Amino acid sequence: MALIRVTKEFRFEMAHALWNYDGPCRNVHGHSYILYVTFAGEPVNDPDNPRNGMVIDFGDLKKIVRENIVDRFDHALMVSGQAPAETVESYRQHFGNVIVSAYQPTCENLVADIAATLGGMAPEGTFLHSIRLYETATAYAEWHASDNR
């Protein structure tokens, strides 16, 4: 059999602010993120298996990513835990869904977080191949398993 890559696209809206950044992204602002998640593996070759011919069922892929990524980030405000406590508390008072992250919430760090989360959730016989996250229509960050062995 051949190694096949299976990709699904997801979309979510999220705001963030980059603490101690020297540009306009230090202000709270939002993005319409587009996320591509790719798992790879060999298609099941067992006529008795309901997943015969599949690397991963697209429905299973959707469920994994929705429950662990999209539902977590969609319509949230993400800020760095390095921000002063009074700033974070002000955000909490004004916004309903505030995520205080252990990292600066850049596109690059979000991709690493998503890869770390999903990497351990690969169904048997598959592995997380890559993550691509568009922050704007023309700017994205990528993570590839082959670069992170």
pLDDT of residue 8: 98
- Residue range 96-121, pLDDT digits in tens: 899 999 999 999 999 999 999 999 99
- Residue range 9-51, pLDDT digits in tens: 999 999 999 999 999 999 999 999 999 999 999 999 999 999 9
Q: Indicate if the pLDDT at residue 1 is higher than 80.
A: no
Q: Which domains does the chain have, with CATH numbers?
A: 4-147 (3.30.479.10)
pLDDT of residue 149: 82
18 — phi, psi (to 5°)?
-95, 110
pTM of the model: 0.94
Are 31 and 14 in contact by the 8 Å Cβ rule? The answer is yes
Hey, what are 71's tokens?
Answer: 């539902």
Give the Cα separation of 130 and 6 in Å (integer). Answer: 10
